[in-house]
Structure 1
Amino acid sequence: MPDLLSAHALDLTAELAADVADTERELAAFEGAPDQGLEQLARFLLRAEAVASSKIEGLQVNSRRLARHEARIAAGIPDRDATAEAVLGNVLAMQHAVDQVATAETVELQHLLDIHAALMEHSDQPDIGGHVRTTQNWIGGNDFNPCQAVFVPPPPEYLAGLLEDLCRFINRDDLPGTVQAGLVHAQFETIHPFADGNGRTGRALIQVVLKRRGLARNFVPPVSLALATRASAYVDALTRFRYVGDADHDEALSGIRDWLDLFLSAVRRATADAANLQKLLEQMQEDWRTAARPRSGSAAARLLSELIANPVVTSDDVIRLTQASRSAAFAAIDSLSAAGVIRPVGDQHRYRMFEASRVFDVLTDYERATATESGDTRDERPRRAVPYRRNSEPT
């Protein structure tokens, strides 16, 4: 049974306060950096965050597989990939969180339920979406009783009060936003209010708070990637947050500080990695323009600016994204194909798909770099599962 967040004095040490200031300064610098026309970076980062959050829960899908699945579904092509569909649900839930919940005047319980409903709609348990659990659950141990469990969250009769307190805390603006985001996430994971999907919903709440407090208005720092790299430390820090004793006891204060130390370092790493990714994507788009030399204002030029967030497209997608006629869209496809920017994939004639392969190469390098402390897998083994670098991909 966690104490209410309102019960904590939140007395930060001087060292932790300095870490908070450094973290929020780095977020502000990234927010204020010119995007040089890369308006699609925001969606790209959001998808990276959603995919990473899913991987923490054991849902392993690489970016190419997810993009192809999404393109097939949008085109009406049957694609029975349950794992990709579940990850797509997390993308949609994250999008809903930052677009709708983060901009709400006041966050209420229904907003949390809506995030969870969006997440579970694409899972094998859509019926539990948006419903607070009514039975006891636990993590670890066996399926029959919680005696050997690693963690046992509060009984269901206490959830209403805990969630009401959590929403009140989300709506506060009298403490640093990064501290607020970290405590909201840890408290939500401790409450564990749903039968499934708690981790992914709780990590979406990090983005809700950061955006509400003006720390990540335009971009989503992929904090889940940083947390996944330090998965053991992440779980250990959450465990230390779950102290035994009074809210003002030394063990409680120490546990909160340990958790915030881990969380703040993850936010700083995610922000630095996102800034590096931005540079890679800017260079990629410049290379595309050099190779394709599209006429200004043409459908090909408009398509180039959309490929980062939409790396797998059909001809109908190109028409929709560029607002061009069918003939102009096909001309853009031919032009960018000839320049090597996109290539055809699959054998569906009617719903032929085209892929900007270099987007996946950049994302692969990004995921591999974020899986190490040094940022270079040539000198350090990745700390989590990462995609392989490949010169080409099978169609």
Structure 2
Amino acid sequence: MADITLRLPPTLAADAEEAAYALAGFDSYAAFRLGEGSHVLGPMSAVLLRTEATSSSQIEHLTVGARNLALETLHEGVSDNAAVVVGNVKAMESALKLGSEMTEANILAMHRALLMNQRGWEQQAGRYRDRLVWVGTDGYSPRGASHIAPQAELVPEAMKDLLAFIGRDDIPVMAQCAVAHAQFETIHPFADGNGRCGRALVHAVLRNKRMALHTTPPISAGLLRRTTAYFDALTAYRAGDARPIVEQFAEAARYAASSGRELVDVLVEQLDVARESLHGIRRDAAVWKVLPHLIAQPIINTRYLQDAVGLSKSQAERAVGVLAERGVLTQRSGRQRSVVWEHRGILDVLDDYAVGLRRG
């Protein structure tokens, strides 16, 4: 892979470039819409990252709603799937750090972040596999598998070769993302979590190539809309045809850019409604610090506000009291009768986005 000549039909090369610039345009739009350096941009980036992590997990049939994911982040969840998806969120966060330095150690750190939250797989976290793996059949035999990955002893060199390919700057970025992802899935370097890690790797490449500096565009959301075509494209790649996977990623990138803009807009609308509800509250009140965090974490408790926002216990209590009194938050019971407060509008926006993906 390090020195391969990637020849794309001119129309596909142009399509891939157009898709990459659509992603860059979305990234710039989010920064412009929110204000680069704004206290809202960070939480918005976080919720886009969680949206991407959730979509990527859903491709692996790990489905979790926005409420369960937010509860799990507060350690108030009761869903095993939510705990696994939180691991995927951490892997995505690690992938963005990988973007600044594409090294083998950072890829292993990304995998460690993913699998440490997955019960029974902790010993495999952050390590290349030491066994044969395959795709498309039961776990006992590769007979009938759609793909049998290379022998375990070939993985380290194959990954070094892949990283050399990613380091090149003579390939259209979206095509490079697609091929790097497909090669990663072909190597299947880990005992579990390869799909989610491979999709997270795409964001590391986009960050590395400076196509997405502020946000995490929901590319997996685009792939989720046509999972059969996505898996068929991976199969075609393994047979020597890279065109379908580049086409799938170009289409997914365009969807990520357009739907990402819509998602940013409707979440900002929710913030604007909340600001109107808080009319008359003095500008130095702690409640204004809390408000943007509701995008990334639409269910909160006072402990979260102390840890994430830096409020004192009394400030946190006053802030949630004001937000509840003004109708921005609704009180709910968490696990073991603890009290949490949720922003129903933001939860509905995130769940509606997920439902739209499942409809295709």
TM-score clears 0.5: yes
Aligned partner (choices 320, 330, 342) of residue 317 of structure 2: 330
From 298, 304, 318, the equivalent of 2:285 is 298
**What secondary structure does 1:344 align onto?**
strand
1:301 CA drift (Å): 1.2
Match of 1:361, SS state, is helix
Give the aligned partner of residue 44 of structure 1: 47
Q: Shift of residue 322 of structure 1?
A: 4.1
Residue 35 of structure 1 pairs with residue 10 of structure 2: no
Q: Is 1:300–1:335's contact at 8 Å kept on the other side of the alignment?
A: yes
Change (3 A) 1:321 1:195: closer
Q: CA deviation at 1:141?
A: 2.7
Shift of 1:351: 4.0
Query: Which residue of 281, 294, 303 corresponds with 1:316?
Result: 303
Within the alignment, does 1:116 sit opposite 2:102 as a pair?
no
Q: How does 1:50-89 map to 2 (within 5 A)?
A: 50-71=53-74, 73=75, 79-89=77-87
Q: Aligned to 1:367, which of 346, 354, 357?
A: 354
Find the aligned partners of 1:140 and 1:11 in 2 and give their Cα distance.
30
User: Is the Cα–Cα contact under 8 Å of residues 121 and 129 in structure 1 kept in the other structure?
Assistant: yes
Distance change >3 Å, CA 316–CA 183, structure 1 → 2: same
Kept in 2, the 8 Å contact 1:142–1:148? The answer is no
* Equivalent residues, number: 351
Report what 2:330 is aligned to.
Answer: 343
Distance 1:347 1:136, change over 3 A: closer
Distance 1:15 1:365, change over 3 A: same
Structure 2 runs not aligned, ≥5 long: none
Higher helix share: 2
Task: Kindly provide the amino acid, as one letter, of the partner of residue 108 in structure 2.
Answer: L
State the TM-score, normalized to the length of structure 1: 0.85
* Cα root mean square deviation, aligned: 1.8
Which segment is superposed worse, 169-178 or 263-272?
A: 169-178
Corresponding position of 1:374: none
SS in 2 for 1:183: helix
- Summarize the Cα distance change of 1:142–1:369 in structure 2 as closer, same or farther, 3 Å threshold: closer
Q: Deviations over 1:146-170 (max 9, x none)?
A: 2211111111222122111011112
Q: Which fold has the larger relative contact order, with Cα–Cα distance below 8 Å and residues 6 or more apart in sequence?
A: 2
Inter-partner Cα distance in structure 2 for 1:28 and 1:57: 27
User: Greater shift after overlay, 8-17 or 225-234?
Assistant: 8-17
- Quote how far apart the aligned CAs of 1:217 are: 0.8
Q: 1:379 matched to which residue of 2?
A: none
Alpha-carbon distance in structure 2 between the residues aligned to 1:137 and 1:326: 50
Match of 1:256 among 234, 237, 242: 242
Listed as ranges, the matches of 1:158-197 within 5 Å are 158-197=154-193
Give the counterpart letter for 2:92 in structure 1.
M
Aligned residue in 2 for 1:101 = 98
Report the Cα distance in structure 2 between the residues aligned to 1:341 and 1:142, rounded to whole angstroms.
Answer: 48
- For residues 310-340 of structure 1, what are the alpha-carbon distances to aligned partners after superposition, in whole Å with 9 as ceiling and x for unaligned? 1111112223444334333222212111221
Contact 1:207 1:220 in 2 (8 A): yes
What is the Cα deviation at residue 122 of structure 1? 0.5
Q: Kindly, what percent of the aligned residue pairs are identical? A: 33
Task: Check 1:279–1:146 CA distance in 2 against 1; reply closer, same or farther (3 A cut).
Answer: same
| TM-score, normalisation: structure 2 | 0.92
